[in-house]
């Protein structure tokens, strides 16, 4: 549970997007994205534990393709944030991300893949207990991920009242864009 909390609550692309959406659209309109990210990560954890890891290990180029595609997607989001105007409705992309967007964001998020693979490798039991331990990990993340990502959205929504000027919103957009780019760069160290 501590592993799930530390990895779900730590800064990363999905959490940064949730905070930005919270600022732009408030908590209620960001919750579908948070729910999608939660379900997306839990399903990624389950898929990784039940076979994707073997596929990625067997065909290493898949990992490189996922890492590259995920990095490009995140760089695109950073570019959108950097270029967004200072009006609140444009902080993210003009409309709140939905549940499917939140789920897909996890599947192309290199941090999510690293967390899923390391979690499976570290916290599952071998032998007959393997399948049930993978399922248990996925359920733990299902429970912990929602409030963790939701906290970022809540912080964004709370910050919304402080961002009264277009200049303040532009600075937030740029800071979030830089954080996204930094999160991408750490994947290649």
Domains: count for the chain? 1
Measured CA to CA in angstroms, residue 103 lies from 14, 25, 36, 125 at distances of 10, 19, 4, 27
Structural domain that includes position 125: 2-188
User: 10 Å Cβ neighbour count for 108?
Assistant: 18
**pLDDT of 30:** 94
d(CA 38, CA 107): 11
Measured CA to CA in angstroms, residue 70 lies from 27, 29, 126, 157 at distances of 26, 25, 30, 26
pTM of the model: 0.71
Computed on alpha carbons and rounded to an integer, the radius of gyration of the chain in Å comes to 17
**pLDDT of 143:** 96
List the helix and strand counts (H, then E) for the chain.
Answer: 8, 0
Residues of the chain with pLDDT under 70: 52-57, 63, 66-67, 70, 85-94, 186-189
**pLDDT of 91:** 44
């Amino acid at each position: 549970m501590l592993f799930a909390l530390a990895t779900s609550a730590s800064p990363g692309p999905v959490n940064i997007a949730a905070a930005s959406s919270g600022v732009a659209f408030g908590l209620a309109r960001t919750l579908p994205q948070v729910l999608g990210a939660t379900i997306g990560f839990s399903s990624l954890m389950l898929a990784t534990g039940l076979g994707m890891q073997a596929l990625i290990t067997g065909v290493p180029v898949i990992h490189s393709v996922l890492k590259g595609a995920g990095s490009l997607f995140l760089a695109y989001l950073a570019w959108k944030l950097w270029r967004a105007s200072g009006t609140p409705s444009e902080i993210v992309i003009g409309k709140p991300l939905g549940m499917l967007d939140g789920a897909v964001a996890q599947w192309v998020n290199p941090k999510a893949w690293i967390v899923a693979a390391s979690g499976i490798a570290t916290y599952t039991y071998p032998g007959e207990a393997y399948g049930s331990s993978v399922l248990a990990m996925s359920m733990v993340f299902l429970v912990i991920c929602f409030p963790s990502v939701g906290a970022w959205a809540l912080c964004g929504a709370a910050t919304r009242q402080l961002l009264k000027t277009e200049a303040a919103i532009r600075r937030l957009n740029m800071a979030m864009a830089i954080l996204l780019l930094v999160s991408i760069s750490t994947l290649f160290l």
